């Protein structure tokens, strides 16, 4: 037996009403709980909330003082180790000025840095950092090295993890960093955001360069 459109609408309306009723009941319970509290209990709640806000503000100031909130290039290899010691979460972009796709990461990371103070966003010039390049095994550019508590937890090599094309969204990169645990991601980690959007381009080019001057994916490829 097929359900008519009007019946479906009624079922949905009933479900929405029930959901709204549950929320309303929960709010009523909280209001009733507050009404029963005396002034001392309410003052304790207020003081606890103020303490939480103060702690959050202090943490924010501490992170800003360490360089969080901005995306910057490190002047030397030594600074990389200093950053990793000071910050629990680090996103390091290994780049070279002559590799055009590095600029794409620059754009997105500049947006994410002020959005996620819990992570330090930096960029490292591979031409000036041979020791780091060798130690961390950076072979393809651009590459992101993601660290937690001074340990490498993940690599983002080129754009393969981001859909395999140049026009991935900032939210897609944010999701990838959230999967690695270096940023606090508010969305669904099991669902990459760009996969739910309509695909405008079914073909893409991949031409990320290796540090030795070769090319990865010199020929044009089609996404299967």
Alpha carbons 158 and 66: distance in angstroms, whole number:
28
More confident residue, 150 or 30: 150
Predicted local distance difference test score (pLDDT) of residue 5:
66
Task: Count, in order, helices (H) and strands (E) of the chain.
Answer: 6, 10
- Segment 182-205 shows an average pLDDT of 75
Query: Which class is 69-222 in CATH?
Result: alpha beta
Where exactly are the structural domains of the chain? 7-64, 69-222
Asked if pLDDT for residue 81 goes beyond 90, the answer is: yes
- Segment 205-212 shows an average pLDDT of 56
Query: Strands 120-125 and 203-204, how do they pair?
Result: unpaired
33: number of Cβ within 10 Å? 10
Give per-residue pLDDT as tens, 10-20. Answer: 777 777 888 88
Residue 13's region, left for phi above 0, alpha for psi from -120 to 50, else beta, is: alpha
Predicted local distance difference test score (pLDDT) of residue 216:
47
Confidence of residue 223 (pLDDT cuts 50, 70, 90): very low
- Segment 186-203 shows an average pLDDT of 74
Q: How far is CA 220 from CA 22, 121, 166, in A?
A: 55, 32, 13
- Segment 182-202 shows an average pLDDT of 79
Predicted local distance difference test score (pLDDT) of residue 19:
83
Give per-residue pLDDT as tens, 88-112. Answer: 999 999 999 999 999 999 999 999 9
- Segment 60-79 shows an average pLDDT of 95
């Amino acid at each position: 037996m097929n359900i008519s459109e009007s019946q479906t609408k009624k079922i949905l309306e009933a479900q929405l009403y029930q959901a709204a009723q549950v929320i309303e009941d929960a709010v009523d319970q909280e209001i009733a709980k507050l009404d029963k509290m005396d002034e001392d209990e309410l003052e304790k709640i207020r003081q606890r909330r103020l303490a939480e806000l103060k702690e959050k503000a202090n943490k924010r100031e501490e992170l800003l003082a360490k360089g969080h909130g901005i995306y910057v290039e490190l002047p030397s290899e030594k600074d990389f180790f200093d950053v990793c010691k000071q910050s629990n979460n680090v996103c390091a972009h290994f780049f070279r000025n002559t590799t055009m796709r590095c600029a794409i990461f620059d754009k997105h990371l500049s947006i994410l840095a002020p959005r996620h103070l819990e992570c330090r966003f930096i960029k490292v010039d591979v031409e000036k950092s041979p020791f780091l390049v060798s130690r961390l095994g950076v072979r393809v550019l651009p590459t992101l090295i993601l660290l937690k508590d001074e340990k490498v937890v993940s690599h983002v090599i080129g754009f393969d993890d981001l859909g395999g094309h140049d026009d991935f969204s900032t939210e897609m990169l944010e999701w990838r960093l959230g999967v690695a645990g270096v940023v606090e991601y508010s969305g669904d980690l099991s669902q990459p955001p760009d996969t739910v959007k309509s695909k405008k381009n079914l073909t893409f080019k991949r031409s990320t360069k290796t540090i030795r001057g070769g090319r990865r994916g010199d020929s044009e490829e089609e996404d299967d």
